[in-house]
């Protein structure tokens, strides 16, 4: 059956930054499609709580605590996990952060943190995973981009720059690794109900602007990202490479 193309039974997926928000929703969605899940984060307590939630739903879950901005720690964690537990078939690079300030006053240290967390981490984790995937001749890498990959708005110029970089790094991964059997793609969420966006959601002026600006007329729910992630993680996307799927309620489709 054609639906079998979307099943992830027997596969293992690592989702970075997955103790809450979009990362946890994607992990839950991949688990629902049959994958064993590896949750990642820096806070071991939060990570353990998220893992227990998924286990209580009947999913197979492990945790792997490492700092995605630390190249050596990333390599050690992934190499160690592969050696002890076996192949990781799917990587979802979700870890990210935001900092809002006028560009003329943007703190240089905050800019550096954005670059490390949003861009360098995709390189570190992607490279560490690809070295194993290339040897097996297969693998799925899904990088979480943003509506800001294509659009900008005041106060988040450096964040916009990082998400544009993630989209182009995704293309670069496909250019280098597609010939080895890897599919490397991205998902660009619009505005979703997450802890990262709590301040915006609670701002009546911004909330009104967003719902009027978005053709769907509302914020997205994190569960609405699962379909794109399952597609890009499954055999259904076996000839899809270097592309970014916008899941944004139509905001990038119109003025």
Give catalytic residue positions.
159
Rounded to whole angstroms, how far apart are CA atoms 147 and 200?
15
Q: With contact defined as beta carbons under 8 Å apart, do 39 and 19 qualify?
A: yes
Q: What is residue 4's DSSP assignment?
A: G
* Cβ count within 10 A of residue 46: 15
- Closest listed residue to residue 130, CA positions, set 98, 86, 88, 171: 88
- Closest listed residue to residue 228, CA positions, set 115, 94, 63: 94
Rounded to whole angstroms, how far apart are CA atoms 159 and 1?
42
Rounded to whole angstroms, how far apart are CA atoms 14 and 208?
36
Q: What is residue 244's DSSP assignment?
A: E
Structure tokens at 99: 């900092």
Q: With contact defined as beta carbons under 8 Å apart, do 177 and 194 qualify?
A: no
Q: With contact defined as beta carbons under 8 Å apart, do 46 and 19 qualify?
A: yes
């Amino acid at each position: 059956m054609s639906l079998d193309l979307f099943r992830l039974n027997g596969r293992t997926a690592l989702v970075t930054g997955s103790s809450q928000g979009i990362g946890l929703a994607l992990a839950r969605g991949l688990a629902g499609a049959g994958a064993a899940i590896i949750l990642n984060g820096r806070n071991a307590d939060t990570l353990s709580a998220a893992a227990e939630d998924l286990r209580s739903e009947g999913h197979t879950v492990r945790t792997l605590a490492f700092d995605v901005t630390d190249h050596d720690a990333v390599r050690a964690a992934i190499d160690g996990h592969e050696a002890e537990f076996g192949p990781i078939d799917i990587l979802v690079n979700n870890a990210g952060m935001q900092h809002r300030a006028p560009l003329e006053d943007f703190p240089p240290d905050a800019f550096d943190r954005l670059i490390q967390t949003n861009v360098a981490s995709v390189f570190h984790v992607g490279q560490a995973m690809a070295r194993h995937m290339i040897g097996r001749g297969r693998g799925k890498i899904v990088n979480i981009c943003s509506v800001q990959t294509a659009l900008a708005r005041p106060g988040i110029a450096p964040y916009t720059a990082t998400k544009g970089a993630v989209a182009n790094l995704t293309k670069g991964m496909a250019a280098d690794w597609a010939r080895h059997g890897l599919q490397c793609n991205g998902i660009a969420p619009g505005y979703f109900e997450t802890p990262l966006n709590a301040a915006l959601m609670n701002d009546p002026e911004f909330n009104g602007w967003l719902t009027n600006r978005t053709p769907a007329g509302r914020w997205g729910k994190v569960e609405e990202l699962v379909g794109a992630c399952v597609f890009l993680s499954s055999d259904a996307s076996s000839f899809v490479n270097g592309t970014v799927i916008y899941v944004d309620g139509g905001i990038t489709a119109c003025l």
